[in-house]
Amino acid sequence: MSLIAITAQQAAMSFPEMSPALFQIDLGFLGLGKFPIRWYALAYIGGLLIGWRLALAMVARPTLWGGTSPANRDDIDDLLFYVTLGVILGGRLGYIFFYQLPNEWDETWADPLRLLRIWEGGMSFHGGLIGVAVAIWLVARQRNVPLLSIGDIAGVVTPIGLFLGRYANFINAELYGRPVPEGSTWGMIFPQGRIPGSTPPAYDWNAGSWVYCTDNNPISHPCAPEVARYPSQLYEAILEGLIPAIILSVLVWRFKALQRPGLIAGLFLLFYAFGRTVAEQFRQPDEFVQFLPDWITMGQILSLPMWIGGAYLIWHALKKSSVTAQA
């Protein structure tokens, strides 16, 4: 960080300035330059693989389900394949339809191929959730396994991927928070340089360093000096990922919550809706979303169906359990 940036916000925390990539593979012999192995991609891969192993562990223990497991290893392997497609395709299409087209129609019409340039960023959790829901429905139908039980498995493992993904957002210095009150020690100075063609925009891949607006870097677009902001990515990692993962895991492994189909899936939806709604109060709204009032964000709007769906699934699970007990 430049001396100007440090002295301007002495009360704020410094951004750790990790590289967005774990390492880079030199493909110069193929004329392709260097290929970065990015933390963000590793977060997706790690979340899917950890979730897959956890799902296998759950179906391997019939006692968690009350005596008979609803799925086998082949079912979970198929689920991993379809969920991977659902996350990628749903996440990208969700970003396009929820964010990009409503706010950047002219730019997209002039350059429609930008819809395919996923490496430039642009994924929506809510779109990915729809993709995962479709994947769960397909697996349940094709392999004749209970839909709600597969949804419960997804509800347990998804917070792990959310935690990793939000931490990767933090490493990328993206999706940061709103400015903190002056003098607050909760703020962090995120680099906000704008290097043409770079992802993340503030990272200079050639120099291997982050670019701040206060650096007056010649390759960066001019931008306003950085201010201290909430590290909202970490808030989301905790509220959407860590806390739900712990609570739902305890309910599954200690209190046999999987014996009430739909309960875990419903709780996950409510946990996420609550965490996202709270975190959006600290997160900087997307600058290209211009048609919403200041008191609500697109993330909060897209979370409304999750409040409703989660409440219904919990009610359905508890009602069915009560009826079974009476019988």
Look at 34 and 258; give whichever has higher pLDDT. 258
Q: Please spell the DSSP secondary structure of 222-261, one letter per residue.
A: P-PPP-EE--HHHHHIIIIIIHHHHHHHHHHHTT-GGGST
Going by pLDDT thresholds of 50, 70 and 90, the confidence category of residue 298 is confident
Q: What angle, 0 to 180 degrees and rounded to 10, lies between the N-to-C axes of helices 125-143 and 147-171? A: 150
Q: Is residue 302 part of a domain?
A: yes
Q: What is the pLDDT of residues 135-169, one digit of tens each?
A: 999 999 999 999 999 999 999 999 999 999 999 99
Q: Which of 148, 64, 255 is nearest to 247 (CA)?
A: 255
- Residue 96 pLDDT: 81
How is residue 279 written in tokens?
A: 């975190």
List Cβ<8 Å contacts ≥24 apart for 139-146: 139/75, 139/78, 139/79, 139/82, 142/78, 143/71, 143/74, 143/75, 143/78, 145/70, 145/71, 145/75, 146/70, 146/261
Q: What is the pLDDT of residues 59-96, one digit of tens each?
A: 999 999 999 999 999 999 999 999 999 999 998 888 88
How is residue 212 written in tokens?
A: 């701040």
Q: Is the pLDDT of residue 288 over 70?
A: no
Q: Is residue 256 part of a domain?
A: yes
Q: Is the pLDDT of residue 5 over 50?
A: no
Q: What's the domain count of the chain?
A: 1
Q: Is residue 280 part of a domain?
A: yes
Cβ 100 vs Cβ 120: under 8 Å: no
Whole-structure pTM value: 0.89
Q: Is residue 205 part of a domain?
A: no
Look at 180 and 103; give whichever has higher pLDDT. 180
Q: Which of 151, 3, 152 is nearest to 64 (CA)?
A: 152
Q: Is residue 50 part of a domain?
A: yes
Q: Is residue 26 part of a domain?
A: yes
* Bridge partner residues of 112 (DSSP): none
Q: Is residue 195 part of a domain?
A: no
Rounded to the nearest 5°, which phi and psi values hold at 288?
A: -90, -5
Domain of 95 in residue numbering reads as 3-190+226-326
Q: Is residue 84 part of a domain?
A: yes
- Residue 124 pLDDT: 87
d(CA 212, CA 301): 32
